[in-house]
Structure 1
Amino acid sequence: MSRLRAGTGPLRRKPIEHIEDPEGARSEQLTRVLGLWQLTAIGVGGIIGAGIFTLAGTVANGTAGPAVVLSFVIAGIASAAAALSYAEFAGLIPKAGSAYTYGYAVLGEVVGWCIGWDLLLEYTAIVAVVAIGISGYFEFLIGNLGAHVPAWMMGAPGTGPGHRVDLFAAVLCLLIAYLLNQGMSNAARFETSVVVLKVVVVLLVVVVGFLHIDTGNYRPFFPYGVGGAFTGAATVFFAVFGYDAMSTAAEESKDSQRHMPKAIVYSLAIAMVLYILACLVLTGMQHYTEIDRESGFSTAFKSVGLSGLANVVAVGAIIGILTVMFTFMLGVTRVWFSMSRDGLLPKWFARTHPTRHVPTRVTWIVGAASAVIAGLVPIAEAAELTNIGILLAFAVVSTSVIVLRRTRPDLPRAFRCPAVPLVPAIGVCFSLWLITFLHWQTWVRFAVWFVVGLVIYGGYSYRHSVLARTPAPGDTP
């Protein structure tokens, strides 16, 4: 067998030099339309959103107190180590699929399958969590305007009196699916415009909020102990890795090998600065025990007599958090598309629209699934569901960088992760460590999903994989 493909059975790997569309896949191709700043906007759009406008208040109130700022710093360190690993792979393998494709190429098909299968659930759940967060601000805004909305449509069962379904969140999921199906050029223009608006709102929050900080609200800084800050980091972690979902769009970038690594680094750096400043403002304006879990900044500004600005923040949050939904729904559809194109899932899912060149079928399926989760599952349970698979994906990508540096040091790399193996090892250790802080219910849900995935792989994917049915380049019959 040619050195272009190594391993057999579940350990067979995609040849990195020849990762391209399978023969005859013209109906399964994406169009390269994204430039550097559009990619960066998608990354920033995925990172900044629910973390500032929703999860910061949720974690401050019930998990970390003012130490929520350290929760974001801890999560940011782990995320930065993994981000550098993603940046190296993004310049090396400019194809859709992100961690799924990287794991497949370096560690083998079964590892790629497991990561891809996990991401299908995690990304879909993230879309739902963000939709729920927007719904919280929508309820705040409606209440401030004196309007009345029936209680049955304002939250999942058990989240409040009379709540039956979070209808606003569910409808938002379907609207994002519709937007993504209009074509990447149109969708990216919308995303970039809204990201600019969102950053302006965050800067407004920070500048005005600093004028109303009461340092007494920072005491006690660790009301739940130092462990509370780490538990909070595990919860907010999904809010600092939008670049992961953005990297799934590598196949739609005009110059992925040059632009994707830069976009990953730029988007994380911009987001972390804004996160730290925003958390300091939130916990300084209002005591952590009084922060609203779903519309933290709006209620904080209202508490200091700035109701007008509170409404502006609520509107900005509703519009701005849409970009997070956009980024992660983009991510899950591209992972699903890649897995189907590789034969690990039915090829029917990989069919793209004949003129818009987007995977419309999987996009509508994901839109419907996320709508069901957003409408019926409380935000805390949905948030924890998102993290374990992403942390494992980070560990796999970081490990893959170390492995590939040793096995294929000759490969041309547009971006090189610094201090290998130290930096990727930090990403692995932080990711595995943060996983231990998740609740046991999260482990159970993940285990069930993982077992279902292995059954599907053994019963379908192993035999239908393109690598199982097509000789590698250079192989002789």
Structure 2
Amino acid sequence: MSRPSAPDSLLRREIGRVGVATIAMNGVIGSGIFALPAVGIAQAGYFSPWLFLLCGVLILSVALTLARTASFFETTGGPIVYTSHAFGRFIGFQTGLLIYISRVAAIAASANLIVSYAAPIWSPLSSGLPRMIAIAGYITLATILNAIGVRAGMAALYLISILKLAPLLLLILVGFPAVEWGLVTSANVLPPEAIGRTMLVLLYAFIGFEFSLINAGETRDAHSAIPRTLVTTVLAIAVCYALIQLVAVSVGPDLGGSNAPLIELARRLMGPTGALALGLGVVFSIGGGSLTSLLTAPRLTYALSRDGTLPGWFGTVNVRTRVPVNSILFCGVLSIAMAVGQQFVWLATLSTFVRLLTYALCIVSLPIIQRTLPAEPGQFKLPGRLAIPAVALLLILWLLSQSTMENFAIAGCVVVAGSVGYWLCTRKRGVAATSFESTEIPRRGERTIDKGR
């Protein structure tokens, strides 16, 4: 074991464009799309496909903004790097902490859900000690896969990606001829308040694309590969979700109260075999989301340690596997603790709300980054300059205004606890909490490792 002597110098750049797309896709397509079509049908009926499209527009505007921001950096941490450069170490630390909490909450939520899906097969998994053991065992296995190395974690993601996408694409293909275009195009528009409340719930199915930004220090040609691949992947997912909802509301307009709407939809379209295929797709989707979270979340604590705002223990990199092993193990243990102590809905709500806050912080960082860092030929650019980021920020603020005070209180507690930890750590390590420039984290043209690795 050894600490990196230079930022990201011991991490291997083993993730290519396909890997970036796989991480982003698995970050987004998880448990949400298998449950939320029912919520859309219950709250919006035949208007629900339009709400999925609106969510897609929002997420695409955020993805475009973050893609532009990512084109200035090649360093592990993603949003931490952006907000630190724009506003200093303290804001960067709080951004990283909020994202980390949202990721751990998502891992814990996924573990709860996957064990719940397994409970009908073996009833003791529904509660008590067997359920706790199953949750802990699942997270432990995912943690070990990521601790072995980036290649092992990515290999598992590639396999899971195929197994999770195939049933969804088959559902669209078989159900598309049954789409009720007339009912969808003539659906009654919901009031703005109802649209906001419903979108805030549906958005859980869309978040997670920023995973691919966090592993920039392990991505080949990160400043070029990440932005374009990220936008393409998010656009494809948004279209896929809208098509799924079109099929769902057309074939199953009565599924608003279903706990497993797509499984019932597959049963109606393809019989028991189709239902089984979708059931397996649920398992693989949740598994892929968990593996992606455990691949990316530990890089946040690694990045914060690298920047001097967390203890050096989190920055320890295994000499053989070149992964931040301590951060990976800590993430696994914390995820287990949260998973056995909370339920899916609470964890999912926390993850979504906190993620919107960090998206907003990243968006307001972009103008400062563009003003303080030089542009380079071939860099990803946004049409209309800051028009798209402005739209994204307004939409996020509008959605946040639909949240409850409990959500704000939880986020406030995280910020307060993080502030105390930040002060203790920086005081002990003698790190000045002023400018991100003092971290000497390389940007484009200032790489510290061999890209050919």
Same fold (TM over 0.5): yes
Q: Which residue of 2 is the match for residue 154 of structure 1? A: 126
How far is the alpha carbon of 1:361 from its aligned partner?
1.6
Matched, 1:351 2:311: no
Q: Which residue of 2 is the match for residue 16 of structure 1? A: none
Matched, 1:406 2:380: no
One-letter amino acid matched to 2:68: E
Q: Which residue of 2 is the match for residue 93 of structure 1? A: 73
Secondary structure at the counterpart of residue 243 of structure 1: coil
Q: Distance in 2 between matches of 1:219 and 1:288?
A: 19
70-79 or 90-99, which deviates more: 70-79
Q: Distance in 1 between matches of 2:59 and 2:339?
A: 26
| Pairing of 1:439-454 with structure 2 (within 5 A) | 439-454=404-419
How far is the alpha carbon of 1:183 from its aligned partner?
0.6
Identify which of 126, 150, 155 aligns with 1:184.
150
Q: Which residue of 2 is the match for residue 429 of structure 1? A: 394
Identity %: 23
How far is the alpha carbon of 1:70 from its aligned partner?
3.4
Identify which of 8, 16, 20 aligns with 1:39.
20
Task: Report the TM-score, using the length of structure 1 for normalisation.
Answer: 0.82
One-letter amino acid matched to 2:307: D
Compared CA separation, residues 258 and 304, structure 1 to 2 (3 A): closer
Q: Which residue of 2 is the match for residue 14 of structure 1? A: none
Instruction: Tell me, yes or no, if the aligned pair for 2:8 and 2:217 is still in contact at 8 Å.
Output: no
Q: Distance in 1 between matches of 2:180 and 2:415?
A: 47
Matched, 1:397 2:377: no
One-letter amino acid matched to 1:401: L
One-letter amino acid matched to 1:355: R
Compared CA separation, residues 319 and 305, structure 1 to 2 (3 A): closer
One-letter amino acid matched to 1:48: I
Number of equivalenced pairs = 437
Matched, 1:341 2:313: no
How far is the alpha carbon of 1:414 from its aligned partner?
2.1
Instruction: Tell me, yes or no, if the aligned pair for 1:135 and 1:166 is still in contact at 8 Å.
Output: no
Compared CA separation, residues 222 and 365, structure 1 to 2 (3 A): farther
Secondary structure at the counterpart of residue 386 of structure 1: helix
| Pairing of 1:15-30 with structure 2 (within 5 A) | 24-25=5-6, 29-30=10-11
Higher RCO, Cα 8 Å, sep 6+: 2
Compared CA separation, residues 217 and 451, structure 1 to 2 (3 A): farther
How far is the alpha carbon of 1:290 from its aligned partner?
4.6
Identify which of 21, 30, 35 aligns with 1:49.
30
Q: Distance in 2 between matches of 1:126 and 1:64?
A: 26
Q: Write out per-residue CA displacement over residues 86-134 of structure 1, whole angstroms, 9 at most, x where no aligned residue.
A: 1122221111111111100122112111111111111111122233333
One-letter amino acid matched to 2:139: C
Identify which of 313, 324, 347 aligns with 1:382.
347
Gaps in structure 1 of 5+ consecutive residues: 1-21, 143-147, 156-161
How far is the alpha carbon of 1:425 from its aligned partner?
1.0
Q: Which residue of 2 is the match for residue 5 of structure 1? A: none
Instruction: Tell me, yes or no, if the aligned pair for 2:115 and 2:131 is still in contact at 8 Å.
Output: no
Instruction: Tell me, yes or no, if the aligned pair for 1:337 and 1:350 is still in contact at 8 Å.
Output: yes
Q: Distance in 2 between matches of 1:222 and 1:374?
A: 40
Q: Which residue of 1 is the match for residue 443 of structure 2? A: none
Instruction: Tell me, yes or no, if the aligned pair for 1:128 and 1:374 is still in contact at 8 Å.
Output: yes
Q: Distance in 2 between matches of 1:192 and 1:367?
A: 21
How far is the alpha carbon of 1:83 from its aligned partner?
1.0
| Pairing of 1:166-315 with structure 2 (within 5 A) | 168-210=134-176, 226-288=192-254, 290-293=256-259, 295-302=260-267, 306-315=271-280
Q: Distance in 2 between matches of 1:169 and 1:286?
A: 32
How far is the alpha carbon of 1:277 from its aligned partner?
0.9
How far is the alpha carbon of 1:462 from its aligned partner?
5.4
How far is the alpha carbon of 1:378 from its aligned partner?
2.2
268-277 or 127-136, which deviates more: 127-136
Q: Write out per-residue CA displacement over residues 274-314 of structure 1, whole angstroms, 9 at most, x where no aligned residue.
A: 11111222232223555423x22113333567222101110
* CA-atom RMSD in angstroms: 3.1
Q: Which residue of 2 is the match for residue 80 of structure 1? A: 60
Secondary structure at the counterpart of residue 177 of structure 1: helix
Instruction: Tell me, yes or no, if the aligned pair for 1:217 and 1:285 is still in contact at 8 Å.
Output: no
Q: Write out per-residue CA displacement over residues 55-91 of structure 1, whole angstroms, 9 at most, x where no aligned residue.
A: 333x336654454433332222222112112112222
Q: Which residue of 2 is the match for residue 135 of structure 1? A: 115
Q: Distance in 2 between matches of 1:207 and 1:363?
A: 39
Compared CA separation, residues 462 and 292, structure 1 to 2 (3 A): farther
Q: Write out per-residue CA displacement over residues 259-281 of structure 1, whole angstroms, 9 at most, x where no aligned residue.
A: 11122112101111111111222
One-letter amino acid matched to 1:389: V
Compared CA separation, residues 23 and 351, structure 1 to 2 (3 A): closer
Instruction: Tell me, yes or no, if the aligned pair for 2:12 and 2:322 is still in contact at 8 Å.
Output: yes
How far is the alpha carbon of 1:246 from its aligned partner?
1.4
How far is the alpha carbon of 1:435 from its aligned partner?
1.0
Compared CA separation, residues 417 and 397, structure 1 to 2 (3 A): farther
Q: Write out per-residue CA displacement over residues 220-262 of structure 1, whole angstroms, 9 at most, x where no aligned residue.
A: 9669855333223222324323221111011111111221112
Gaps in structure 2 of 5+ consecutive residues: 441-453
Secondary structure at the counterpart of residue 153 of structure 2: helix
416-425 or 222-231, which deviates more: 222-231
Secondary structure at the counterpart of residue 181 of structure 1: helix
408-417 or 364-373, which deviates more: 408-417
Q: Write out per-residue CA displacement over residues 419-442 of structure 1, whole angstroms, 9 at most, x where no aligned residue.
A: 221111112111111111222221
Instruction: Tell me, yes or no, if the aligned pair for 2:22 and 2:157 is still in contact at 8 Å.
Output: yes
Q: Distance in 2 between matches of 1:359 and 1:236?
A: 34
Q: Distance in 2 between matches of 1:422 and 1:244?
A: 20
Instruction: Tell me, yes or no, if the aligned pair for 2:72 and 2:373 is still in contact at 8 Å.
Output: no
Compared CA separation, residues 131 and 66, structure 1 to 2 (3 A): farther
Q: Which residue of 1 is the match for residue 445 of structure 2? A: none
326-335 or 216-225, which deviates more: 216-225
How far is the alpha carbon of 1:181 from its aligned partner?
1.0
Q: Distance in 2 between matches of 1:218 and 1:128?
A: 36
How far is the alpha carbon of 1:209 from its aligned partner?
2.9
268-277 or 185-194, which deviates more: 185-194
